[in-house]
Amino acid sequence: MSSVKIKGKWNAIGMIRDTTERKKAENILQEKEGLLRATLESTDDGILVVDEQWHVTHTNTRFTKMWKIPKKIIQTGDDRKLLDYVLNQLEDPQAFLSRVKQLYKTPKESLDIITFKDDRVFERFSCPLIQKGKVTGRVWNFRDVTERKKAENAIHESEERYRATFESTGTAMMIIEEDTTISLANHQLELLAGYSKQEIEGKISWTKFVHKKDLEKMKKYHKERRKQEGNAPKQYEFRFIDKNKNIKNIFLTVNVIPGTKKSIASLMDITERKQIEQEIKKRNEELEKFNKFVVGRELKMVELKRRIKKLEANLGKKR
């Protein structure tokens, strides 16, 4: 509202400006800002958005909790102050800071792992913020993967212990897939078969090592073992053929790994024991024959002596 002097008199003039479009734009902007805020707060990841001047434009509550950053530091909006505060929490602060500075100079995305002094582990994903084809900042996404890493480490340690046991057991062992492929072999199996691990693992079926007279029976066991109500024996003997076509007697112990269609097999070479058993059996048979011969001879001698005495008695009567 303003006034002007017309013919010696002051007259008021009212001016009305249509602000409808501006209000609409402000409302749209507020809606977008609200949607962005709701999106940032709904994720379980910590989010930090920084512009090209290292000024913090957006964060979410999860980010401040994950990094344990006081509200007063967040309110400064200075990413350098955030960095200074969090560095003493890290195992390798210099490497962390160097990587941050490097990423601010490149339009590339990045994914890496951050380790803390208190054993926490974060996964850090970073990507450039691009507007109208120009890099105007950077978005940092932090995910707490501590429990996942602990689980992965536990699994890795378990696998290492299992592999150590698998290798040092002193018995030939192998992991068998449902399609009969040997997926894992230990050193003792290499010695038994005459093939290297590289030649065996993922390339050879266990059927290659089985004598043809035992093969059909063992194939049947292999299928039965993987059925819910299967009735395949867990231990039995079979004839093993190595790379040089030598036949070996094997005592096999095999079980399906729970929750899988794989089986683990232990092969004990009993060839020498079998040879000794056969030799003992042969000697026993020979001894039995000898005993029968000796006993038969003794019986004949007894009978002969009896007859001689009988003849002598008859001769005595005739005299």
Same domain assignment for residues 256 and 232: yes
Q: For residues 159 and 53, state if they share a domain.
A: yes
**Same domain for 204 and 228?**
yes
Distance CA(230)–CA(263), nearest Å, equals: 14
Last residue of a domain, one of 168, 193, 212: 168
E strand segments, the chain:
2-6, 9-13, 46-51, 56-59, 110-115, 121-131, 134-144, 172-176, 182-185, 235-241, 247-256, 263-269
Q: Verify that 189 and 133 share a domain, yes or no.
A: no
In a domain, 93, yes or no: yes
What is the C-alpha to C-alpha distance for residues 249 and 18, in angstroms, rounded to an integer? 100
CATH number, position 150:
3.30.450.20
Q: What is the pLDDT at residue 289?
A: 79
Phi, psi of 295 (to 5 degrees): -65, -40
- Name residues whose C-beta falls within 8 Å of residue 263's C-beta, 6 or more positions apart in sequence: 175, 176, 222, 225, 226, 254, 255, 256, 257
* Residue 17 covered by a domain: no
**pLDDT at residue 170, rounded to an integer:** 85
Residue 33 lies in a domain: no
**Is 285 among the domain residues?**
no
Query: Do 199 and 139 fall within a single domain?
Result: no
- pLDDT at site 145: 94
Q: What is the mean pLDDT of residues 148-162?
A: 87
Q: Is residue 242 part of a domain?
A: yes
Based on the domain organization, do 206 and 138 belong to the same domain?
Answer: no
Domain contains 74: yes
Do 181 and 164 sit in the same domain of this protein? no
Domain boundary among 133, 168, 203: 168
pLDDT digits (tens, 9 = 90+) for 184-233: 999 999 999 999 999 999 999 999 999 999 999 999 999 999 887 778 99
Q: Which two tokens stand for residue 313?
A: 């008695």
Residue 88 pLDDT exceeds 80: yes
Domain count, the chain: 2
Burial of 157 (0-12, 13-18, 19+ CB in 10 A): exposed
Domain boundary among 117, 134, 168: 168
pLDDT of residue 155 exceeding 70, the answer is: yes
Q: Are 46 and 63 in contact (CB under 8 A)?
A: yes
- Whether residue 103 is found in the same domain as residue 152: yes
Structural contact between residues 131 and 121, judged by C-beta atoms closer than 8 angstroms:
no
Q: Do both 87 and 118 map to the same domain? A: yes
Q: Which two tokens stand for residue 319?
A: 């005299």
Please indicate, yes or no, whether residues 126 and 181 belong to a single structural domain of this protein.
Answer: no
Q: Looking at the structure, do residues 160 and 194 belong to the same domain, yes or no?
A: no
Decide if 222 is inside a domain.
Answer: yes
Which residues neighbour 205 within 8 Å (Cβ) at sequence distance 6 or greater?
A: 179, 180, 181, 182
Range of the domain at 131: 42-168
The neighbouring-strand residues paired with 126 are 110, 140
Report yes or no on 21 lying in a domain.
Answer: no
